[in-house]
Amino acid sequence: MIDELLKYQEADGKLRAVEQAIAATEERKKYVTARKFLEKAPEKLEALDVKAAELRHMFEQLEKKYKEIAETIHDYENLEEMIGEQGGEISFYKKNATQISENLRALKGEINKLVSMIEAASAEYQTAKKQTIAMQRQYKEYKEKYAAVKESYAGQIGEIEAEMKKIAEKVPKEQLEKYNAKRREKLYPVVCEVRDNRCPQCGMELSIAEISKLSAGEPIECDSCRRTLFKRKA
């Protein structure tokens, strides 16, 4: 059983090498980069839209407040008439006018700061929009190029898969299912021969009971990396 499984793994190794060669191509890298960017782009643009709406609302509130204070300042231009009509100390009104003017200057500073934030947010949105358009073009271009790369390897992949299918007929179904399940988890190699009573991949030292099973010709699973371990009889 182990010999046939090892043959299956050897053929699988050839398939893995082809898959890695495809994965390393510039066409696939650019295709994947564009695809991942576009998957996140709507969320990013939506977040920028929300941010822009919040900044606009803040600006409108500050602008309204600024106008109210500006109107109050305008009333104080006729300070002598106010004192004549309402009575009171001129120093009191001057103090109020000074405080209002300071508040107005501070508010103007806040508005200017907010304008800068709005401009920065607008620039960020425009940049994100341009990047999205560029990535849409890249995605379309490299999707086709990546498909062409895969097609160029199709014959080689077909031959290897046919070889694996033929070998698989001699491997017990349960063992084959376990092997393929581990391969889907990106584990490779799946089947390994024990060396010096240790797993050759992760270095896990085996227990006496495990060594005994291996010596009897029974494969075991590594507790650490979950690979199938075996030991050839001397």
Give tens-digit pLDDT for 4-53: 999 999 999 999 999 999 999 999 999 999 999 999 998 888 888 888 88
* Cα atoms in the 13 Å half-sphere on the side-chain side of 190: 24
Residue 148 has pLDDT above 80, yes or no: yes
To the nearest 10°, the Cα dihedral for 49, 51, 56, 62? Answer: 180
pTM surpassing 0.85? no
Identify the structural domains of the chain with CATH numbers, from first to last. 22-170 (1.10.287)
The DSSP bridge partners found for residue 191 are 228
Give yes or no for a contact between 229 and 199, defined as CB atoms under 8 angstroms apart.
yes
Residue 80 has pLDDT above 60, yes or no: no
